[in-house]
Amino acid sequence: MAILKIARMGHPILRQVAQPVEDATSPEIRRLLADMVETMGDADGTGLAAPQVYAPLRVVVYFVTEARAGKDQAAVPLTSLINPIITPIGEEIAYDWEGCLSVPDMVGIVPRHTRIRLQAETPEGKPIDAMIEGFHARVLQHECDHLDGILYPQRMDDLSLLIFREELRHGVPEKAKRLLAPSA
Ligand code: NI
């Protein structure tokens, strides 16, 4: 296993559309996944897509802690997905903070679909077909965007809410509070 270098916003690898993986169970993919998990842990991230470590392949790893999962949502253990495809279900959108290891020290308020269908393969080559909601759905949309060369600031509709995490000590912007308020 190895800790890999993480590409930062502006590097061309992060703008590429990643290639599908032909054999999810190959030793190369197993090694890549192990390195991605180690790199994500070292960088204290919650998700990592292969293009972020200079591997232009459709592979993501992530987890969701109980604290981030939110009310009525279960935590998600460390998960590896090969060739994930997500499809929005319904029109509902929610706003929440996101950060990204490729956009260090910053956070932004990003609109995402609240419900999605996930189709993917496991590292054992088994198919997944599931309905995903809430913060888990947000993490998947963020990670799958990386596979299409998209970073979260490109999904924002108000760039005044793209800020340095450290500056949150001065308080959360009023606009952000309004967007984060649960809709009645
Ligand atoms: Ni990211």
Per the annotation, the verdict on 66 as an active-site residue is no
- Indicate the number of domains in the chain: 1
User: Which is the catalytic residue, given 22, 91, 133, 143?
Assistant: 143
Residue-number span of the structural domain to which 60 is assigned: 12-180
Q: How many angstroms separate the CA atoms of 162 and 140, rounded? A: 20
- Chain CA centroid to CA 184, Å: 27
Per the listing, tokens 């959360």 go with 172
The reply to whether 99 falls in a domain is: yes
CA of 151 to the centre of ligand 1 (A): 7
Asked whether residue 72 is domain-assigned, the answer is yes
> Does residue 7 lie in a domain region?
no
Please indicate, yes or no, if residue 94 is contained in any of the structural domains. Answer: yes
> Are the C-beta atoms of 52 and 14 separated by less than 8 Å?
yes
User: Is residue 90 one of the residues assigned to a domain?
Assistant: yes
Is the pTM higher than 0.85? Answer: yes
Residue 29 lies in a domain: yes
Q: How far is the CA of 68 from the centre of ligand 1 (A)?
A: 16
Task: Note whether residue 73 is domain-resident.
Answer: yes
Q: Which of 2, 13, 37 is nearest to 102 (CA)?
A: 13
CATH number of the domain that 126 lies in? 3.90.45.10
Q: Is residue 153 helix, strand or coil?
A: helix
Using the mean position of ligand 1's atoms as its centre, give its distance from the Cα of residue 41 in Å: 14
Residue 22 Cα to ligand 1 middle (Å): 24
pLDDT in tens, the chain (184 residues): 799 999 999 999 999 999 999 999 999 999 999 999 999 999 999 999 999 999 999 999 999 998 888 777 889 999 999 999 999 999 999 999 999 999 999 999 999 999 999 999 999 999 999 999 999 999 999 999 999 999 999 999 999 999 999 999 999 999 999 999 765 4
CA of 37 to the centre of ligand 1 (A): 14
- Asked whether residue 117 is domain-assigned, the answer is yes
First to last CA, the chain: 48
